[in-house]
Amino acid sequence: MSKKLSIKELAKLAGVSTATVSRILNEKGGYSSETEEKVLRIVKETGFSINVAAKALRTNISKSIGVVVPDITNEFFSRIVRQISLYFLAYNYSVFVCDSNESLEIEKKYISELQSRNIDGIIYVQGQNNNGLEDMDLKIPVVYIDRSPVNADVVIESDNFLGGVIVADELLRLGCKNLIAIRDIHNLSSINDRIEGFISRLREENVESKIFYIDNPTVEDGKIKMQEIIDSGYKFDGVFASNDIVSIGVYNTLKNNGIAVPKDVKLIGFDGNELIKSCFDFLLTIDQDVEKMAVEGCKILYEMMTEDISIKTRIKIPVSLNRGRGESNGTFN
Amino acid sequence: MSKKLSIKELAKLAGVSTATVSRILNEKGGYSSETEEKVLRIVKETGFSINVAAKALRTNISKSIGVVVPDITNEFFSRIVRQISLYFLAYNYSVFVCDSNESLEIEKKYISELQSRNIDGIIYVQGQNNNGLEDMDLKIPVVYIDRSPVNADVVIESDNFLGGVIVADELLRLGCKNLIAIRDIHNLSSINDRIEGFISRLREENVESKIFYIDNPTVEDGKIKMQEIIDSGYKFDGVFASNDIVSIGVYNTLKNNGIAVPKDVKLIGFDGNELIKSCFDFLLTIDQDVEKMAVEGCKILYEMMTEDISIKTRIKIPVSLNRGRGESNGTFN
């Protein structure tokens, strides 16, 4: 029999799922010997061959995925990478990570290279200046985490809008009247949603707020902007820093100006950076469930790769307020 | 002419270096048109073919290296990765990063996979339980950074022994009489050297010290051990934490016990972790020149890959004491 079957046709003939066929052909276990015999018999009878098996035979390489992140030195992204690696380890996949250094050009280069090297799927965290890969010819499944272009099929992200709402609620609960937010200028969906949630909740309560912009979400930019605000004489008693790294700069500048946190000014960051929490266990932040985001992305990517189906979904992972040892301890400085 | 020449023979015939031949064949520029004509004429006359060109033609993939690190969430390793990516970007190489999660088994899997995918060279930071790849059949150049097996050909590392000496000197200069060090139990060359430098310098001055061991170099283990030491009543006025992450645990436990740093106890860490410095700009640490380590490793790997030569060398990168804003400010707590 010369006609080549697709994995779907083979699965249909055998009366099993494509995933089961894939597992049997790759000798991964998790099926009965009866099912195995049945599938292998059909493979033999039909002269079945699939790209994947042929490719593996030809190159003797195993399954793998690629992960592209914009800044591997940022704990938020490296935690995503760590969790993805752990997830796919259980399936005996290799995970190759590429650091795009916030450059769309480099992202495209890596995604093209990963495809050339027979990678099976990609998890993609975009840089802050980018707008997706609409002009790229992607032949493999892609899952976006955290940041998403408008045309993305699969996006896993924190509920950033909710995070902004929680920040506003908490600052109001703590008695703040004059609120400011410090964010970077980049047009990222994640940061936009946080600030939008923050502002919209304050509007409901008829509380004014002012947004200050910094070039980049760094400690240094947070420091400089906070000093500028203090020097300008602008009055505030609550600060929302759009991530924890910025909040460190804000905190240190407040402290150096003799302004106590949280006595004089309340401060809330965003991310739940573990190392910063270890240093300052009294700072408030919004915890992102980074591990859950990564796992949900992995699950969908794995399904797309093994079931040979296309999926269109946008999943929002809940966030939560972390008060650290917050108000229980008055001696923060 | 049917005999196939090696790149070395071709270079000899043309009277140029193998690197120049490589650059000409890959159209990378940086040579005169005269040299180019000469080499291409010999290529044509001899029917020269090399593996690299054939491979690139066959697969249409570009040059690349792999980087294997034990814990991508540790800033020390992610900074190495970032610098390697930047270095090779300039040569238009792709850099694929693998997180081994401190497992020798996973390291071996990744190194084998990287070879299978036509990677040109590997930069390898071993896990803390590992002893190299002596049983692996490596066909591509490998450069070790930070941690090294005894049989490694190329190793780039900080001068950890010197770092330990500097810590001892500084603690003595600050007037400490009763010194302790807290380190993890893993048999890593880097940590062993730090502690050895520390002890040997103290011996020269006839100062006693005591080493305490923790299971892992984490904030939590640092905290717990410091509390145990305090509870035991052991007297100390200077602490060497074998990395900055451990020093955070030590610092917070001292603070929670009403022991002021640096008034009551002096504390020095190791690494020069940038985020920790941003949080606690008064903590003392030994700065490792992470970027220089990475660049030196890249230079040698690039030479090995393009010159087709084997190199045997061990390079120690100087370290330096970082006093933060140290003694200039008395109000550390």
The pLDDT tens digits for A29-54 are 778 888 888 887 877 776 655 444 44
Confidence check: pLDDT of A202 > 80 = yes
Confidence check: pLDDT of B3 > 60 = no
* pLDDT of B330: 35
CATH fold, domain A64-158+290-318, is Rossmann fold (3.40.50)
* Chain B CB within 8 Å of residue A257 CB: no
Query: Quick check: B115 and A115 in contact, CB under 8 A?
Result: no
A171 Cβ contact partners less than 8 Å away, ≥ 6 residues apart: A179, A238, A240, A266, A268
pLDDT classification of B328: cutoffs 50, 70, 90: very low
Confidence check: pLDDT of B135 > 80 = no
Percent of chain A at pLDDT above 70? 87
Per the CATH hierarchy, to which homologous superfamily does domain A7-59 belong? lambda repressor-like DNA-binding domains (1.10.260.40)
Round to whole Å and give the CA distance between A55 and A59: 6
Round to whole Å and give the CA distance between A208 and B266: 46
The side-by-side arrangement of strands in the sheet containing A142-145 is A313-317, A154-158, A142-145, A121-124, A64-69, A94-99, B94-99, B64-69, B121-124, B142-145, B154-158, B313-317
pLDDT classification of A132: cutoffs 50, 70, 90: low
- Residue A80 tokens, joined: 């995503």
Confidence check: pLDDT of A28 > 90 = no
Contact B75 A73 (CB under 8 A): yes
Report which of residues B5 and A305 the model is more confident about.
A305
As a whole number, the mean pLDDT across chain A is 87
As a whole number, the mean pLDDT across chain B is 87
Report which of residues B41 and A142 the model is more confident about.
A142
* pLDDT of B282: 87
Confidence check: pLDDT of A331 > 50 = no
From the list A61, A101, A248, the residue facing B279 with the nearest CB is A248
pLDDT classification of A168: cutoffs 50, 70, 90: very high
- Assign residue A273 a region: left if phi > 0, alpha if psi is -120 to 50, beta otherwise? beta
Mean pLDDT lowest for which of A315-329, B17-31, B261-275? B17-31
From the list A72, A97, A117, the residue facing B61 with the nearest CB is A117
Contact B98 A96 (CB under 8 A): yes
Confidence check: pLDDT of A262 > 70 = yes
From chain B residues 138-197, the ones with a CB under 8 A of any chain A CB are: none
Sketch the domain layout of chain A as residue ranges. Answer: 7-59, 64-158+290-318, 160-288+321-328
* Chain A CB within 8 Å of residue B219 CB: yes
From the list B94, B106, B275, the residue facing A276 with the nearest CB is B275
- Residue B273 tokens, joined: 């972790």
Round to whole Å and give the CA distance between A297 and A305: 12
According to DSSP H, which parts of A174-310 are helical?
189-204, 219-232, 244-256, 274-279, 290-307
Confidence check: pLDDT of A157 > 80 = yes
From the list B95, B117, B273, the residue facing A61 with the nearest CB is B117
DSSP letter (8 states) at residue A70 = S
* Chain B CB within 8 Å of residue A61 CB: yes
CATH of domain B64-158+290-317: 3.40.50.2300
According to DSSP H, which parts of chain B are helical?
7-14, 18-25, 33-46, 51-59, 75-89, 104-116, 160-173, 189-204, 219-232, 244-256, 274-279, 290-307
Report which of residues A200 and B113 the model is more confident about.
A200
pLDDT classification of B174: cutoffs 50, 70, 90: very high
Percent of chain B at pLDDT above 90? 63
Confidence check: pLDDT of B61 > 70 = no
* pLDDT of A308: 79
Torsion, CA A216, CA A219, CA A221, CA A227, rounded to 10: 160
B146 Cβ contact partners less than 8 Å away, ≥ 6 residues apart: B76, B80, B125, B126, B156, B157, B158, B190, B293
Separation of CA A244 from chain center? 16
| Interface test mutation site (partner B, options A64, A67, A73, max chain B beta carbons within 10 A) | A73
* Chain A CB within 8 Å of residue B329 CB: no
- B83: chain A residues, CB-CB within 8 Å: none
* Chain A CB within 8 Å of residue B54 CB: no
Residue with tokens 């995918």: B117
* pLDDT of B12: 82
* Chain B CB within 8 Å of residue A281 CB: yes
**What DSSP string runs through B285-330?**
EEEE-HHHHHHHHHHHHHHHHHH-----EEEEE-EEEE-TTGGG--
Confidence check: pLDDT of B89 > 70 = yes
Contact B78 A82 (CB under 8 A): no
pLDDT tens digits, one per residue of B193-217: 999 999 999 999 999 899 999 999 9
* pLDDT of A52: 41
Backbone angles phi, psi at B169, to 5 degrees: -60, -45
- Residue A112 tokens, joined: 């093209």
| Most confident of the ranges B110-119, B149-158, B269-278 | B269-278
pLDDT classification of B230: cutoffs 50, 70, 90: very high
The two domains A7-59 and A64-158+290-318 share their CATH topology (first three levels equal): no
What are the CA-CA distances from residue B254 to residues A68, A175, B53, B234, B245 (Å)?
Answer: 40, 33, 61, 13, 15
**Average pLDDT value for residue range B131-137:** 65
- Residue B72 tokens, joined: 């991508």
Backbone angles phi, psi at A329, to 5 degrees: -130, 120
| Interface test mutation site (partner B, options A58, A86, A113, max chain B beta carbons within 10 A) | A113
**Average pLDDT value for residue range A118-122:** 91
CATH of domain A160-288+321-328: 3.40.50.2300
* Chain B CB within 8 Å of residue A64 CB: yes
Confidence check: pLDDT of B331 > 60 = no
pLDDT classification of B26: cutoffs 50, 70, 90: low
* pLDDT of A327: 43
* pLDDT of B210: 97
* Chain B CB within 8 Å of residue A118 CB: yes
Query: Quick check: A21 and A11 in contact, CB under 8 A?
Result: yes
How close is the nearest chain A Cα to the Cα of B197, in Å? 28
What are the CA-CA distances from residue A152 to residues A143, A271, A294, A318, B273 (Å)?
Answer: 8, 23, 17, 20, 36
Confidence check: pLDDT of B65 > 70 = yes
* pLDDT of B310: 85
* pLDDT of B127: 82
- Residue B66 tokens, joined: 């792999």
Kindly identify which residue of chain A lies nearest to residue B249, measuring between CA atoms: A278
* Chain A CB within 8 Å of residue B86 CB: yes
The residue type at B271: D
- A116: chain B residues, CB-CB within 8 Å: 59-61
According to DSSP H, which parts of B148-188 are helical?
160-173
